[in-house]
Structure 1
């Protein structure tokens, strides 16, 4: 569809001709202010109907409507701004998991002439409502005077101003943004918009797993979960209605509805939200650093929990292993050839029919599942299993699911949903809004977990049957939230049975970070796939998620989806990236085991041993992730927000507090690298470097990686070779100081060279 370059048409999806019986209502000056018994501030905001044209003009033949805007302060740095149009704003939801330490601070106000100054009980300024008219020097009646609008500046942390976009316009009839407005459809409020001022040099990031440059300024995003079909498009598996501004605040729109977010794109002067719901419930989060802002976000939506020790080891998988014999042969060879590994994952082929998910092992190819799983565990391998949340027409559970309303009631005879690998039809989506269906699903998983399985891959979940009825939620509100309900159920039963809380999840929405861990979806086995994966992981870490992984060395080959050859260089470089990620899993459409790449298998063995040497450090950083706003894998701006260079770098990252990583993403063995300010020690050579400059065309042989550690820190390392984490004794962990005595990790841990 061609853009009209008209704000109301392009951003609000508005029908200005009236054919859809739609009408725009704009907020006017506040009419009254008062405080509620619980300390909230209540502001009466009149809305004026606009004429049904692309020219914005008040229709004064229609009486104004008054609605209540509510302000609430949580702690010192979070301000909640909410308003519902003929609909109550939900105080709680599954997305929210408020930190008990996050107390409500009562608000009060003082009227000073034509301004209302809002403060908390400590006297800290939280908002200023400006009721004055624009200052004019009248000389022409060519155009009408501007209409009334809502003009307010918020101060979520009491310091940084977050102004609403009151006058983003060319002239009074031509707007590029609106402070607050709603669209009425057939007489009923249908969707809302609000906007905040964007500075000319303001950067934005977050919003979920965005496969894009670090600075998202100039983009309009549709926050609606989809099968991303790779990591190089606008489609994405994980959309989070949260952005982080380089000006020192974050904004979380508390909704699961389809949301459109323009980050200085529709108008370079504004950040604009449009929510397909007749309410706005926005949390503004202040802070002095990205970590502090994201800690505030996690205080609202939940902190990541700590994954188990074994999960930090190597995961081995492909799509797919088909029999117990095949799996045992692979595991035995990994052990015999000294590739450390903790988890073997069975993807789509462990059922009676490949891809036909019935939560049961094929009794011919896996005749003794309990014995099979126990034997692997005795050899140091834990088992992870793939499944999905849709019931196939051929599944043996279909009748039970339909008879008991465990799946949605699809309108019409058939609906298709599911895989990209063909026209696989599904009878319905498991209805996680129905408690009985949740318990039924948990029961399916419990039988597997009781056998000794330790992790469920909660694949898919981005899409649901939208032409269907669900127990307690409309499909349009369930769509994005579905991933949270799905992963919560699998996580809870795994935690209950196994004792370890973990899933391996692809989709995501606000709150999903509570149930680690998530991976980056079906990346192409290419340098583009590697680069796109990293970008997605950086933005996800700037969206509240703490633990994240990706398929090494990409999921699907190109141009032949299943069968193109993966280069040795890509396999090694992606392995290195995996070693310096929170979790490391090999997976894809063809052979993934390192011994299948004989020319570089020795290099890979060394790198997998390095991974296990780093696990003590990784455990320390992971614990920090569960208590702060930090992810394990961090964009450079977490530590260098004021460095304008770091505001745009999306191919380097921090691995925890102390390690800076610059993956090589080409087959030339060189790249440009930016060393931020400070003293750095090369992890492989031990050479010291002063930061604050570029290393152009930095050469790096295939068996090394550009990795630096902050000078003077002590890295926690494991000093002995192990085949899996069961063999690790944390009493043996050593501290290696990054000083003149350090001559490189391979010399320090000589067993890595063997």
Structure 2
């Protein structure tokens, strides 16, 4: 983007040459406010702007008037909706799954002193709509007066004020944000914007799996799911149109349209949202804690379900295993050498032709799939399988899929360079907007699940064929929503057949937290890959998701994508990070089994044993996460939103509510650790510290990691070594009291 310093171009995506037939319509002072069935309706006139760099009213064109609806819900949720005559407010949405806690609260409105005041039945003010003229001390007519504006202050929790950005401009023609506006192209409404005022010191987090600093203020994001191609850039597989603010509110933009979100980026005075759809449906969520705000978001979009016990064990994979013999040899060796492990994952190599997904085992490499899976299950292993939501030209299902329109119908030859990492390699995307196509896909998985497969890796899904026809949705709206429809289908059939609700997914949009679990995509096996992964996981946890994992020790290598060797220290440090994640899976483009790294294999085995020792604690924290608003991997601001330091720390995290984890991400084995408020005990040594301070330049041997536990906590642990979770009898769980007698974990 080449910035122009004109709002039309820098945020609203107008043609810089002004050669297109497009127009901007700006919200003006309300003409009326009234109550309708407990909602407050605000009649907002919109004034067309002259098509020019500087904004000015085109008074020769009549205003258009549309209704802004204000609705209040328990608990502490306020909804703003305006459809510009194109869309109606609805709760019938794949993204919404409102809990029983969400109850509409009737509102009433009164007028006095130049403002409408909106209150609930208890008299709590929920909105103030100001129509007073600003006080002036006029001495110059050099510049025109500013245009009318829409000035509304909102109070979702009855306390904190969130104000539309009514006055974000320099001189009257030079706007940086609009409270509400919409655009037309060739006479058709196609984009809409809404902005909220932000404070100079306000910080933001969330918005999906964001591979960047903890405080997102000053940044502008394009909310379009796409192949992230790593974890160190602005692209991401998981965009979530929801953020949390240090002013203790959250905003959920209920849309699946391609959108733009500027968190004090284009203007430091405003949070600006631009949707490619002419509709704005925004839920503002108040709360006294991050947990309360995120729970409010889940009350709207759904709660995560609890993954099965076996999923919390170690997953072993690489890209890829090629035969039943190879898999059995690896699994037998892990049992023989007592590397605890629960899952063996088959990636792209279980088909007749590598990468050619036909949802069928290669009969030569896997001559008896049922026996193969059953034999592994008898040894305590679950088998999971890779696949994707595209059908290839050479797949045996292509004729059936085309004849029945189970895949999209392409409208033109796809442009771009296809590869093994692009939807463009395939003949079409499975059309999950069509119930018949969804059932067909479920049938492909059902056959595999009935053979004993435990779960499906729902890879890809962040890209679809765009120059195509889908049965019930335009591709521009389907692109982001596709991950939700795809994962829902796989989750439902897995739950139906196996009883376990689980997928292993890469893409995500609002609502996908209902279908765990997700992993962080194709990270590099490097320190920056590890750091980027953690940043993504922290923001993801603040976006409503309870469970998240990552490829240990990174997916690909440098400088050669598939063939460079992973460094021993990267392997160990990433293992330590994985042990203290909700789920731990080894995967990548070359060998991942620990015995291929003999110098550090004993260290790795020891950390795997610690993982299994901690499974009772992980289960405890997971149950809390699925019933409220918490997550297993928690940014420091989740517990300390009032600590400014925590808004700038993205290389530490809480693991559940009791552990503080500080992974080492360098070859020197040194790092600084910030201990937030509280009393902390080193989990390995028993050393005690008071919080609110830094521990500087710690020297951390390779076999250890800085892990601290809250003083006074009781940590449930499993007392015996096991080879897999099938060996566990959770009634044997013991509790370690972190008190004056605790001298460090024995492991």
Please classify the TM superposition score into its range, dividing by the shorter chain length: over 0.9
Which residue is equivalent to 2:285? 285
Cα distance in 2 for partners of 1:270, 1:542 equals: 21
Which residue is equivalent to 1:135? 135
Which residue is equivalent to 2:207? 207
Which residue is equivalent to 1:646? 646
Cα RMSD (Å) of the superposition? 1.1
Cα distance in 2 for partners of 1:135, 1:595 equals: 76
Matches within 5 A, 1:31-110: 31-37=31-37, 39-91=38-90, 92-110=92-110
Deviations 1:215-249 (A, max 9, x none): 00000100000100000000000000111110010
Which residue is equivalent to 2:449? 449
Matches within 5 A, 1:689-708: 689-708=689-708
- Counterpart secondary structure, 2:80: strand
Check the 8 A contact 2:424/2:465 in 1, yes or no: no
1:89 CA drift (Å): 3.1
Do the aligned partners of residues 357 and 415 (structure 1) sit closer, same or farther apart at CA in structure 2, a change above 3 Å counting?
farther
Cα distance in 1 for partners of 2:10, 2:366 equals: 55
Check the 8 A contact 1:224/1:258 in 2, yes or no: yes
1:419 CA drift (Å): 4.7
Cα distance in 1 for partners of 2:523, 2:210 equals: 13
Check the 8 A contact 2:81/2:89 in 1, yes or no: no
Check the 8 A contact 2:77/2:156 in 1, yes or no: yes
Which residue is equivalent to 1:337? 337
Deviations 1:314-335 (A, max 9, x none): 0000000000000000000011
Check the 8 A contact 2:169/2:175 in 1, yes or no: yes
Check the 8 A contact 1:417/1:465 in 2, yes or no: no
Which residue is equivalent to 2:627? 627
1:661 CA drift (Å): 0.1
1:430 CA drift (Å): 0.1
Cα distance in 1 for partners of 2:17, 2:230 equals: 39
Check the 8 A contact 2:652/2:663 in 1, yes or no: yes
Which residue is equivalent to 1:222? 222
Matches within 5 A, 1:380-399: 380-399=380-399
Deviations 1:686-725 (A, max 9, x none): 1111111101101111111100000011100000000000
Do the aligned partners of residues 225 and 413 (structure 1) sit closer, same or farther apart at CA in structure 2, a change above 3 Å counting?
closer
Cα distance in 2 for partners of 1:628, 1:254 equals: 21
Check the 8 A contact 2:581/2:632 in 1, yes or no: yes
Cα distance in 2 for partners of 1:294, 1:238 equals: 17
Deviations 1:114-155 (A, max 9, x none): 111101122111100000111101111111111101001100
Which residue is equivalent to 2:582? 582
Which residue is equivalent to 2:240? 240
Cα distance in 2 for partners of 1:64, 1:372 equals: 70
Check the 8 A contact 1:390/1:418 in 2, yes or no: no
- Counterpart secondary structure, 1:175: coil
Cα distance in 1 for partners of 2:417, 2:576 equals: 36
Check the 8 A contact 1:256/1:480 in 2, yes or no: yes
Cα distance in 2 for partners of 1:104, 1:413 equals: 48
| Structure 2, unpaired ranges of 5+ | none
Cα distance in 1 for partners of 2:79, 2:153 equals: 13
Which residue is equivalent to 1:740? 740
Check the 8 A contact 1:417/1:463 in 2, yes or no: no
Which residue is equivalent to 1:749? none
Cα distance in 1 for partners of 2:722, 2:492 equals: 31
User: Is the counterpart of residue 169 in structure 1 residue 177 in structure 2?
Assistant: no
Corresponding residue pairs, total? 746
Which residue is equivalent to 1:605? 605
1:416 CA drift (Å): 6.5
- Counterpart secondary structure, 2:44: strand
Do the aligned partners of residues 413 and 641 (structure 1) sit closer, same or farther apart at CA in structure 2, a change above 3 Å counting?
closer
Cα distance in 1 for partners of 2:581, 2:644 equals: 25
Do the aligned partners of residues 336 and 623 (structure 1) sit closer, same or farther apart at CA in structure 2, a change above 3 Å counting?
same
Cα distance in 2 for partners of 1:15, 1:33 equals: 35
Matches within 5 A, 1:498-537: 498-537=498-537
1:113 CA drift (Å): 2.2
Do the aligned partners of residues 627 and 418 (structure 1) sit closer, same or farther apart at CA in structure 2, a change above 3 Å counting?
farther
Check the 8 A contact 1:316/1:585 in 2, yes or no: yes
Check the 8 A contact 1:348/1:387 in 2, yes or no: yes
Deviations 1:643-701 (A, max 9, x none): 11111100000000000000000111110100111111100001111111101101111
Cα distance in 2 for partners of 1:459, 1:417 equals: 20
1:268 CA drift (Å): 0.5
Greater alpha carbon shift after TM alignment, 448-457 vs 408-417: 408-417
Matches within 5 A, 1:71-470: 71-91=70-90, 92-413=92-413, 419-421=419-421, 425-470=425-470
Cα distance in 2 for partners of 1:76, 1:712 equals: 32
Check the 8 A contact 2:450/2:497 in 1, yes or no: yes
- Counterpart secondary structure, 2:576: helix
Cα distance in 2 for partners of 1:296, 1:564 equals: 45
Check the 8 A contact 1:418/1:460 in 2, yes or no: no
Greater alpha carbon shift after TM alignment, 28-37 vs 498-507: 28-37
Deviations 1:26-71 (A, max 9, x none): 000111111112x111111010111111111111111111100001
Cα distance in 2 for partners of 1:639, 1:686 equals: 23
- TM-score w.r.t. length of structure 2: 0.99
- Counterpart secondary structure, 2:365: coil
- Counterpart secondary structure, 1:267: coil
- Counterpart secondary structure, 1:645: helix
Deviations 1:429-448 (A, max 9, x none): 00000000000000000000
- TM-score w.r.t. length of structure 1: 0.98
Deviations 1:81-139 (A, max 9, x none): 01011212341210000002211000111111211110112211110000011110111
Check the 8 A contact 1:250/1:286 in 2, yes or no: yes
Greater alpha carbon shift after TM alignment, 567-576 vs 85-94: 85-94
Greater alpha carbon shift after TM alignment, 12-21 vs 417-426: 417-426
Check the 8 A contact 2:414/2:424 in 1, yes or no: no
- Counterpart secondary structure, 2:247: coil
Do the aligned partners of residues 186 and 114 (structure 1) sit closer, same or farther apart at CA in structure 2, a change above 3 Å counting?
same
1:474 CA drift (Å): 0.4
Check the 8 A contact 1:487/1:503 in 2, yes or no: yes
Deviations 1:383-435 (A, max 9, x none): 00000000000000000000000000001255678755589721100000000
Matches within 5 A, 1:481-496: 481-496=481-496
Check the 8 A contact 2:118/2:126 in 1, yes or no: yes
Which residue is equivalent to 1:671? 671
Do the aligned partners of residues 329 and 677 (structure 1) sit closer, same or farther apart at CA in structure 2, a change above 3 Å counting?
same
Cα distance in 2 for partners of 1:417, 1:608 equals: 41
Check the 8 A contact 2:75/2:103 in 1, yes or no: no
| Structure 1, unpaired ranges of 5+ | 747-751
Which residue is equivalent to 1:728? 728
User: Is the counterpart of residue 715 in structure 1 residue 715 in structure 2?
Assistant: yes
- Counterpart secondary structure, 2:615: helix
